[in-house]
Structure 1
Amino acid sequence: MTRIILARHGETNWNREGRYQGQLDTELSPLGWQQAERLAEALAKLPITAVYSSPLSRAYETAKKAAEKHQLPVEIVEGLTEIHHGCWQGLYAHEVKEQYGVELEIWQSAPHQITMPGGGECLKQVQDRAVAALEMIAKRHPGETVLVLSHDATIRAFFCYALGMDLANFWLFRQDNTCINVVEYLPDGRWRLSKLNDTCHLGSLIWDVDQKAL
């Protein structure tokens, strides 16, 4: 069995502003850096043997803080990156609502039925690459504990697969910045979820971000 600590990156200014990031490379906010340090401290005594991250800097810098506690490098895995939000990337939530109201309604009510307009991804594409990435990591580290830093939509889509749920249930999972999830890859190839959206390490550093922008 491989235990994967699957965490979301620290807060960015765009998270706070309600702006769609997608695969644009935004930086951690001052609060996000504090959250990353709290996450690193929370994981410091665990027997982590490897650290992986999305290529986006908000995830990589969060992973790097934790990796330093264990004197480990951070390995980039492309499949862990955030959903490509197409032409929504860079727009504020109110701008998306004004310009893409019909598509936004589908995204919020039936997310499995839309491909992001303007060359973006659908959730099945996100799920397929996330599952492939996490299975690759799990098989590379049998019997070990590994830290993986990823993103809101990517983690939600993976959970739908791991728990045998349709992607229509995507919005049922909450993922706060630097939350800790723990999943176990079992010998028969199934996944077991043992911790979900744990933010106890954050204390007062948790902020209730509107979930409409990812």
Structure 2
Amino acid sequence: MPHIYLVRHGRTTANKDGILAGRSKGVNLDNVGLDQVLKTSFALSEIKFKKVFSSPMERCIATTEILLKNNNYKSKLQISNDLNECDYGYWQNRKLKDLRKEKMWKLVQNSPSKVTFPGGESFLNILNRFKKFVIKESNKLKKDDNLLIVSHGDPIRLFVSYCLGIDLDKFQKVIIDPSSITIIDIWKKDTLVKTMNTRIDLISKSKSVLGGGAG
């Protein structure tokens, strides 16, 4: 089976300030995020990626560029809108503490399958576009090829939930932290979640190599 590496972008200024950034422009990695991604890059340094894709958002592109600095990947980074953050519509760029007061908040947390953000998209649409993209690209790979995708929390959580057979209404129980690594083996429609939400910055302060290295 091909191996799909899903990495969430590092911590951003919006994450730090409790803001739902969505597709807002100018949201960049903060110093903590830069450090997180650097440590993650050491873990992925010896993985030979067949292709590398990123969401078009600046925070994901910046994360991908750091990851590839310590990797021998020579091909061009590819951008796909299918990997983009959720279009939160009128919720975008608002503080989470204020959004929690909205009537729709409980629906977002408990019945996300019924949610379409005002002026934005539904969780189901996020899942469908992300899933379609990953399956399409994985079908182009050979056995043991590696694919790197850098995206956002909700798209990755939704796809991981799908791979685990978790109902969409339960996807909020899945945690995907900034700069975490999730590895999924996929062949046609068969999926195997090998590791989820692995945070290198918490595991070790050394230059750990994921899946290998001495000792």
Q: Give the TM-score normalised by structure 1.
A: 0.88
Is 1:93 matched up with 2:92?
no
1:209 aligned residue: none
Paired letter, 2:190? R
Say which structure is richer in helix. Answer: 1
Unaligned runs of 5+ in 2: 206-215
Question: Is the CA contact (8 Å cut-off) linking 2:48 and 2:73 kept in structure 1?
Answer: no
Q: 1:140, CA displacement in angstroms?
A: 2.3
Aligned to 2:128: 128
* Counterpart residue type for residue 157 of structure 1: L
User: Deviation string for 1:110-154 (max 9, x for gaps)?
Assistant: 22221112x111111000000011112212222201111011000
2:196 paired residue number: 196
> Structure 2: how far apart are the matches of 1:202 and 1:43?
15
Deviation string, structure 1 residues 192-212 (Cα, Å, up to 9, x no partner): 11101011344589xxxxxxx
CA distance in 2, matches of 1:91, 1:175: 21
C-alpha contact (below 8 Å) 1:52/1:148 kept by paired residues: yes
Deviations 1:83-116 (A, max 9, x none): 1111011111122234xx2111211222222111
The one-letter amino acid paired with 1:177 is: P
SS of the residue 1:102 aligns to: coil
SS at match of 1:22: coil
Provide the alpha-carbon RMSD of the alignment.
1.7
Q: What amino acid is the match of 2:196?
A: L
Deviations 1:26-71 (A, max 9, x none): 1111111111111111100122222111111111111111223223
Partner of 2:210: none
Q: Please say if residues 82 and 154 of structure 1, whose CA atoms lie closer than 8 Å, have aligned partners that are also in contact.
A: yes
Aligned counterpart, 2:111? 110
Relative to structure 1, the CA distance from residue 201 to residue 140 in structure 2 (aligned partners, 3 Å threshold; closer, same or farther) is farther
Segments ≥4 residues shifted beyond 3 Å: 200-205
Task: Work out which of the residue numbers 69, 72, 87 in structure 2 matches 1:70.
Answer: 72
| 2:30 matches 1:34 | no
Give the secondary structure class of the aligned counterpart of 1:11: coil
Q: Secondary structure at the match of 1:83?
A: coil
SS state at 2:53 partner: strand
Whether the aligned pair in 1 keeps the contact of 2:43 and 2:200 (CA below 8 Å) is: no
Residues 201, 97 of structure 1: alpha-carbon distance in 2 compared, 3 angstrom cutoff = closer
Identity of aligned pairs, percent? Answer: 26
Normalized against structure 2, the TM-score is what? 0.87
- Tell me how far apart the structure 2 counterparts of residues 45 and 96 of structure 1 sit (CA, whole Å): 42
CA distance in structure 2 between the aligned counterparts of 1:162 and 1:109, rounded to whole angstroms: 20
Structure-2 separation of matches of 1:55 and 1:114: 24
